A and B are shown apart, each in its own frame.
Chain A
Amino acid sequence: MFHWLEKHPFFFAVGVFVVIAFAGLIEILPNFAQASRPVIGTTPYSTLELAGRHVYIKNSCNACHSQLIRPFKSETDRYGHYSLSGEYAYDRPFLWGSKRTGPDLMRVGNYRTTDWHENHMKNPSAVVPGSIMPGYPWLFTNKADVDTAYAEQLTVAQFFSVPYNKPVPMKDGSTKTVKMGNSVAEANALALAEAKVIAADMKDQDVKDAVARGEIPEIVALIAYMNSLK
């Protein structure tokens, strides 16, 4: 039987496939049924936050920063409560990272401010002496892509029933509704309203002017995203 298999490439290939597919079948598929339920207090990303998440991905921030706090005292001391599976329910893709060249960012919104990010992104070593992180000055001039973020919101709402425009339970018993626009124009207006709040805390005059003109620089979206990480 074995010898026959070795001389018949098609059936041989089927055999190999069964053996290698086995692990995935047992390990991954069944788990899909139960995981990815959001924990209470986890809300979907707003349009501007999602645009900021795209900026984060575009610049591969995840190459150096993790978003996964392991259940060790040293990690919870440094970064806050360890990560729970349900907190990632709206993360597509996940951004856990695999290397911590810089610190974890899972709950960076708890201890860094808009103002801090603004200075830091321009020139990290001026804020943290000895930092090896490069500056990201182009984020202050490039414009965030709100349209694509909106398209992504529509996609996840449609295909994965992400609760936009629906009340989501919060930890204190109240509910919160994350709004999503009904049209591209409305989505842009929502994002701009959010951007204005961020820009009010910033010092860079060019960024303030741009937001006043109705444009959203990448840095504003990125900070909105970072502030949402809690």
Chain B
Amino acid sequence: MENRPLEYDYTVAKMFMFTTIVLGIVGMLVGVILAFQLAFPSVNTFLGSGLAEFTNFSRLRPLHTDAVIFGFTLSGIFATWYYVGQRVLKVSMAESGFLMFIGKLHFVLYVIGVAAVVVSLLAGVTTSKEYAEFEWPIDIAIVIVWVLFGMSIFGLIGIRREKALYISVWYYIATFLGVAMLYLFNNMEIPTMLAASPAGESGIGAWYHSVSMYAGTNDALVQWWYGHNAVAFGFTVPIVAMIYYFLPKESGQAIYSYKLSLLSFWGLMFVYLWAGGHHLLFSTVPDWMQTMGSIFSVVLILPSWGSAINMLLTMKGEWQQVAASPLIKFMVLGSTFYMFSTLEGPIQAIKSVNAIAHFTDWIVGHVHDGVLGWVGFMIMAALYHMAPRVFKREIYSKSLMATQFWIQTLGVVLYFTSMWIAGITQGMMWRAHDEFGNLAYSFIDTVTVLHPYYTIRGIGGLLYLIGFLMFAYNIYKTMTAGRKVEESELQNASPMGA
């Protein structure tokens, strides 16, 4: 043992890679079921009418969003942190028994938390706040998991050999701080078991129930400050952390402009938090906040594109790599979808556009071109890059990876195009008046017209899921049957089998 040279220790990274894949499959599968439930309502009872309570759209919907956000994406963030963190700080987890213990505890508690979330959401125990549906006992568990993540970040930084913090580490730190602040404030709630009746009874009713500290408009304001920025610190910041490491490393190219990456970082940190108000345009929150939300959403294009262009320019003069490597394809297309999505978002935040887009499927389309095209692609690319290093084996099949890339790209395109058309159609129909000033359509007209688009969306989602299963299979085969590789093959481009 003592004679072996020091190596990076990927034990915890491996554990989180596993949950990334499993929860990704769960979240996406539920998503596909939901998509088909909207197209074909009979799917609501796909496990029989006896279980309909647990399989209908409304009960499953929070499970889908939470499984992909807190399951798939968060696991991906943790997995890459336990990989990238060690490497850019040039310190191994094996050097600290304490950090190793924290890492493993982090994983175990995370899995317990996930299990509790699944059970509670299926049972209908929810606070109704989007992406913050969990009741107070689970909230406490999540805070503990998050503190462990923070200990792991700052612990590893504390024993580092590399004095300068790489840009990815900046983004991981911001992820930790941002989510901590948002989550704590949005989930302020009072357990109802604390109340006592005038007759002296206490602990009345369900012990896990709680009531929000904020009421009505304030509650909405805090929720969308959270909801919007959960996207910032869950789907943007940590994913940018990933691409700043994995794209340069895989391609062997230095970041086009390291200075630009630092500037975009501060720009993103400052501007993003202001943009939450765009979820509440034309609502009852004060006007100046709505306007602020609109303006900052547009300004947000700058730092977002700063990062994305920086990534694309990193490939300058090396575009043949994009053609040659499916792994680079994932990252370059991911970066392109990021640009696309961060342009689309501000457009939807313009008041006159929002009047049509809000409450429609266009918003759903926007979320998914960002999440499927950017977050999903980037996390899969990161795991593909990590697999040969972690398992010391070649990626099982390059051609399978290339096929997966094209299937999933087609899936994403079908998804967002159908949702654009659906959203704009519905938005226009809701506001249409006839020549006498009466509403031109009853609500149900605006629902039945969407059927073909819902079907296309379902197919798009299904293609993406199929691609994800191919990814899972490819990683599994890499782990068990890939050719063993030497350290020297692992410098930049990942080794891939046919």
Q: Are A57 and B126 in contact (CB under 8 A)?
A: yes
Question: CB of B489 within 8 A of chain A?
Answer: no
Whether A31 touches B221, Cβ cut-off 8 Å, given contacts A9-B154, A85-B216, is yes
Question: CB of B37 within 8 A of chain A?
Answer: yes
In the bound complex, residues from chain B placing their C-beta under 8 Å from that of A36 are 214-218
Whether A28 touches B221, Cβ cut-off 8 Å, given contacts A62-B128, A85-B216, A182-B197, is yes
In the bound complex, residues from chain A placing their C-beta under 8 Å from that of B215 are 36, 88-92, 94, 160
Q: Are A151 and B193 in contact (CB under 8 A)?
A: yes
Q: Are A125 and B211 in contact (CB under 8 A)?
A: no
Report B350-368 CB contacts with A as 1/0, cut-off 8 Å.
0000010011110110000
Q: Are B193 and A138 in contact (CB under 8 A)?
A: no
Q: Are A92 and B214 in contact (CB under 8 A)?
A: yes
State in angstroms the CA–CA spacing of A64 and B274 once bound together. 27
Question: CB of B319 within 8 A of chain A?
Answer: no
Q: Are A57 and B128 in contact (CB under 8 A)?
A: yes
Q: Are A131 and B447 in contact (CB under 8 A)?
A: yes
In the bound complex, residues from chain B placing their C-beta under 8 Å from that of A19 are 266, 269-270
Interface residues of B in 316-373 (CB under 8 A from A): 355, 358-361, 363-364
Which of the 9-residue segments B19-27, B138-146, B202-210 touches chain A? B202-210
Question: CB of A167 within 8 A of chain B?
Answer: no
In the bound complex, residues from chain A placing their C-beta under 8 Å from that of B286 are 31
Q: Are B205 and A151 in contact (CB under 8 A)?
A: yes
State in angstroms the CA–CA spacing of A148 and B359 once bound together. 31
Whether A6 touches B363, Cβ cut-off 8 Å, given contacts A28-B225, A63-B57, A95-B128, is no
In the bound complex, residues from chain A placing their C-beta under 8 Å from that of B52 are 134-135, 137-138
Q: Are A98 and B130 in contact (CB under 8 A)?
A: yes
Question: CB of A199 within 8 A of chain B?
Answer: no
What's the minimum C-beta distance from A73 to chain B, rounded to whole angstroms? 8
Q: Are A147 and B205 in contact (CB under 8 A)?
A: yes
In the bound complex, residues from chain B placing their C-beta under 8 Å from that of A85 are 216-217, 284-285
Binding site for B on A (CB under 8 A): 6-7, 9-10, 12-13, 16-17, 19-24, 27-28, 31-32, 35-36, 57-64, 66, 68, 70-75, 77-78, 83-85, 87-103, 125, 128-138, 142, 145, 147-152, 154-156, 158-160, 181-184, 186-187
Q: Add 19 more A-B contacts to A72-B431, A151-B193, A184-B201 (CB < 8 A).
A: A7-B165, A12-B165, A20-B269, A36-B216, A60-B126, A62-B128, A70-B355, A88-B215, A88-B217, A89-B216, A92-B214, A92-B216, A94-B216, A98-B130, A130-B444, A132-B447, A154-B192, A155-B192, A182-B198
Binding site for A on B (CB under 8 A): 37-38, 41, 44-45, 49, 52-53, 56-59, 61-62, 124-130, 154, 157-158, 163-165, 170, 173-174, 177-178, 181, 185, 190, 192-199, 201, 204-206, 209, 211-212, 214-223, 225, 266, 269-270, 272-274, 276-277, 279, 282-286, 289, 292, 355, 358-361, 363-364, 430-433, 438-439, 443-444, 447-448
Can you list 23 residue pairs at the A/B interface with Cβ under 8 Å? Answer: A7-B163, A20-B272, A23-B270, A27-B289, A28-B225, A32-B218, A36-B216, A57-B128, A64-B58, A71-B282, A72-B282, A88-B220, A92-B212, A92-B215, A92-B216, A93-B219, A98-B279, A132-B447, A134-B52, A134-B58, A136-B56, A147-B206, A152-B211
